[in-house]
């Protein structure tokens, strides 16, 4: 199953690959060169399909847990000052997505969308210290029935040129369901209450909608 954000790109890629195969078959007579070019076209199509895949995830709905919003590797766990919405100290947990990861963003908890804002910006590499402040990004805050608020921030990287955010103010968020997509993009930051129990470690691989990042 492929994400709706990739349908147009997949169609264009498929048509381009078919055209490339026809051109190679018509103009290239060297069999080894033909095989090489066919392989390159096939790999390119495979990578595009891999990037836009949208696998089903089994999320166990739980008001006391925060699930990972994306697939990837945990690269930051630290206490920081969150300046945009909370304006106080929070625990930041950041997940970095490689190009081969699923790039769907999912709601980390259920509740109401209390804040949603898009910020244009730069395209620094995702691990740059200033990426969360200067790169193109979206900030979303979800508040659950227990008045617990969690902020997650989609951050573009050097390759990411478009962030898609479906979360609108006062929308109902359901834990584990799609809340956005980062095209060729790279990192999501979570900002959690200081009394959260963190269930992940640095460099741990996590799965969006399934891996439990923290318990409240």
Q: What is the set of active-site residues?
A: 186
Indicate the pairing of strand 104-106 with strand 111-119: unpaired
Widest pairwise Cα distance in the chain: 69
Residues 156 and 137 sit within 8 Å (Cβ to Cβ)? yes
Contacts of 138 (CB under 8 A, 6+ apart): 116, 117, 118, 119, 153, 154, 163, 165, 167, 180
Q: What is the sign of the dihedral through the CA atoms of 127, 133, 138 and 144?
A: positive
DSSP conformational letter for 92:
E
Number of H-type helices and E-type strands within the chain: 3, 14
CA distance 129 to 118: 20
3-state SS string for 137-190:
EEEEEEECCCCCEEEEEEECCCCCCEEEECCCCCCEECCCCEEEEEECCCEEEE
Size of the chain in residues? 216
């Amino acid at each position: 199953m492929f994400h709706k954000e990739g349908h147009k790109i997949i169609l264009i890629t498929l048509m381009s690959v078919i055209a490339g195969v026809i051109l190679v078959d018509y103009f290239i007579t060297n069999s080894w060169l033909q095989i090489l070019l066919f392989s390159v076209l096939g790999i390119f199509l495979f990578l595009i399909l891999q990037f836009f895949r949208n696998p089903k995830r089994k999320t166990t709905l739980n008001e006391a847990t925060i699930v990972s919003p994306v697939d990837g590797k945990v690269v930051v766990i630290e206490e920081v000052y969150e300046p945009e919405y909370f304006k106080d100290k929070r625990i930041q947990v950041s997940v970095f997505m490689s190009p081969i990861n699923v790039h769907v963003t999912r709601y980390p908890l259920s509740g109401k969308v209390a804040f949603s804002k898009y910020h244009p910006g730069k395209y620094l590499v995702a691990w740059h210290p200033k990426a969360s402040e200067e790169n193109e990004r979206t900030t979303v805050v979800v508040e659950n029935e227990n008045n617990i608020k969690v902020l997650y921030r989609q951050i573009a990287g050097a390759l990411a040129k478009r962030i898609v955010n479906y979360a609108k103010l006062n929308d109902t968020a359901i834990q584990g369901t799609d809340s956005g997509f980062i095209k060729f993009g790279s990192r999501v930051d979570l900002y959690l209450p200081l009394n959260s129990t963190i269930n992940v470690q640095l460099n741990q691989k996590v799965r969006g909608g399934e891996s439990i990042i923290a318990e409240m």
